[in-house]
């Protein structure tokens, strides 16, 4: 709950045995694998020491190695490097997850907020005496997921036409899951970036400008176009690599210069468009730091920011869903007057505009989503944005 030099304490500790920190190393050690760096002398793990060391242990790059002595007292015996690869995977900045050290990790992300992780599985979060055992995966299943997948139609139409013209042997159906994943991951990354500002913000996906006062109107479609370009580059690279591998399997010992250049060009184009998506996400996320709502159309084109929601009519009740699918049994009635101004204005707008999807990000990082489903205004909270995996699925991936 304390601060260090007026800064919030953010740190990750890894529970790991100093006498045997790496009991089962893989047969092939990748260059970016973690390593332990021991202190010359172990330190008692108390509030003062943890706060002081947190300044040197940014969770984005490292963690503190912790274990217990013969009396059961915790102590800090070193640091672990290369944490950025773990964080990049969680935040959809990387396609591959790195192997994790120790038995489990505990991350302090905010005042009174602890996350307990086992490998890539989030076991639970403690938020100021409230235990959150499960985050709702609303972006991949349920009504919100359906809205987002429908919004990806612009991307899907473009790739379908590209396949028919450039790669007629590729089946569109085999790429549709990739496109849905690209769209939803991009949306997740945008939410994560806004969370990291700790300013609070709001996103609205709406069909028109009714009941909206948009202070800064823009038309920014680069994010959508970058996703289209990235999908095309991914197809080009996949086809080129498969052609090369197919030739090797048939006994060819050489490849043509043209094929080599095509494969190389598609690889760098894929990487370049991925960087373009990242830059566009950062550009849009920064607009959330202006008070008001960031406005999107259905194709994820930004139409403005600093928007004020003018709808006034409120529902008598809203229904908080404890599941991503918002089944009737999972709905709990709440009084909308209980929530703050930003939430109430989003509730009123989504109530009066049934096709809209609104998301509010609080200063403490909590994300709530709002949408009208039939005759009820549904709110989802504790939304999963990072790429947490169950330990079983991570083992299968390895």
Q: Which CATH superfamily is domain 143-380 in?
A: DNA integrity scanning protein, DisA, N-terminal domain (3.40.1700.10)
| pLDDT reported for residue 397 | 40
Q: How far is CA 302 from the centre of its chain?
A: 19
Token code pair at residue 100: 């994790």
Query: DSSP alpha helices (H): ranges in 55-211?
Result: 83-90, 143-151, 153-166, 173-197
Q: Cα-Cα-Cα-Cα dihedral of 184, 190, 196, 201, to 10°?
A: -110
| pLDDT reported for residue 5 | 65
What three-state secondary structure class fits 319?
strand
Beta-carbon contacts of 287 under 8 Å, excluding residues fewer than 6 positions away, are 216, 294, 302, 305, 306
Closest CA to 351 of 326, 376, 329: 376
pTM over 0.75: yes
What three-state secondary structure class fits 377?
strand
Q: Domain ranges in the chain?
A: 3-134, 143-380
Compute the distance between CA of residue 330 and CA of residue 328 in angstroms, rounded to an integer: 5
Q: Locate tokens 């959508």: which residue?
A: 224
Compute the distance between CA of residue 318 and CA of residue 2 in angstroms, rounded to an integer: 36
pLDDT digits (tens, 9 = 90+) for 143-181: 999 999 999 999 999 999 999 999 999 999 999 999 999
Bridge partners for 205 per DSSP: 296, 357
| pLDDT reported for residue 395 | 44
| pLDDT reported for residue 27 | 87
pLDDT < 50: residue spans in the chain: 392-398
Q: Locate tokens 């259905």: which residue?
A: 298
| pLDDT reported for residue 209 | 79
Find out whether 186 and 227 touch, Cβ atoms under 8 Å.
yes
Beta-carbon contacts of 4 under 8 Å, excluding residues fewer than 6 positions away, are 51, 52, 54, 55
What three-state secondary structure class fits 195?
helix
| pLDDT reported for residue 87 | 85
Closest CA to 303 of 227, 209, 224, 226: 209
Compute the distance between CA of residue 193 and CA of residue 319 in angstroms, rounded to an integer: 28
Q: Beta strands 318-321 and 376-380: pairing type?
A: parallel
Query: What are the Cα distances from residue 157, in Å, to 147, 231, 362?
Result: 16, 12, 35
| pLDDT reported for residue 222 | 97
| pLDDT reported for residue 391 | 54
């Amino acid at each position: 709950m304390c601060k260090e030099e007026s800064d919030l304490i953010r740190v990750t500790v890894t529970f790991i045995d100093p006498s045997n920190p790496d009991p089962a190393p893989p047969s092939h050690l990748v260059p970016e694998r973690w390593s332990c760096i021991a202190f010359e002398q172990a330190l008692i793990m108390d509030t003062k020491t943890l706060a002081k060391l947190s300044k040197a242990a940014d969770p984005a790059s490292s963690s503190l190695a912790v274990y217990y002595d013969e009396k059961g007292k915790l102590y800090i015996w070193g640091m672990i490097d290369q944490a950025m690869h773990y964080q990049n995977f969680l935040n959809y900045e990387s396609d591959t997850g790195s192997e994790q050290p120790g038995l489990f990790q505990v991350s302090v992300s905010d005042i009174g907020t602890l996350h307990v992780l086992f490998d890539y599985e989030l076991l639970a979060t403690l938020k100021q005496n409230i235990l959150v055992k499960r985050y709702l995966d609303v972006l991949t299943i349920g009504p919100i997921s359906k809205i987002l997948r429908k919004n990806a139609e612009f991307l899907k139409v473009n790739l379908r036409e590209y396949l028919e013209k450039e790669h007629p042997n590729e089946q569109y159906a085999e790429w549709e899951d990739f496109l849905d994943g690209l769209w939803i991951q991009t949306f997740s990354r945008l939410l994560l970036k806004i969370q990291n500002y700790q300013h609070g913000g709001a996103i609205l996906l709406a069909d028109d400008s009714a009941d909206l006062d948009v202070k800064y109107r823009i038309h920014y479609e680069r994010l959508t176009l970058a996703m289209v370009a990235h999908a095309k580059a991914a197809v080009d690279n996949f086809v080129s690599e498969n052609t090369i591998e197919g030739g090797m399997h048939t006994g060819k010992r050489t490849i043509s210069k043209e094929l080599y250049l095509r494969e190389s060009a598609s690889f760098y184009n894929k990487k370049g468009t991925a960087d373009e998506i990242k830059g566009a996400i950062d550009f849009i996320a920064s607009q959330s730091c202006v008070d008001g709502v960031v406005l999107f159309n259905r194709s994820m084109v930004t139409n403005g920011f600093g928007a004020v929601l003018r709808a006034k009519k409120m529902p008598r009740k809203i229904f908080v869903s404890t599941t991503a699918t918002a089944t009737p049994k999972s709905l709990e009635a709440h009084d909308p007057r209980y929530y703050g101004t930003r939430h109430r204005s989003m509730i009123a707008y989504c109530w009066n505009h049934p096709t809209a999807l609104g998301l509010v990000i609080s200063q403490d990082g909590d994300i709530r989503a709002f949408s009208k489903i039939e005759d009820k205004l549904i709110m989802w909270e504790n939304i999963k944005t990072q790429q947490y995996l169950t330990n079983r699925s991570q083992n299968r991936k390895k």
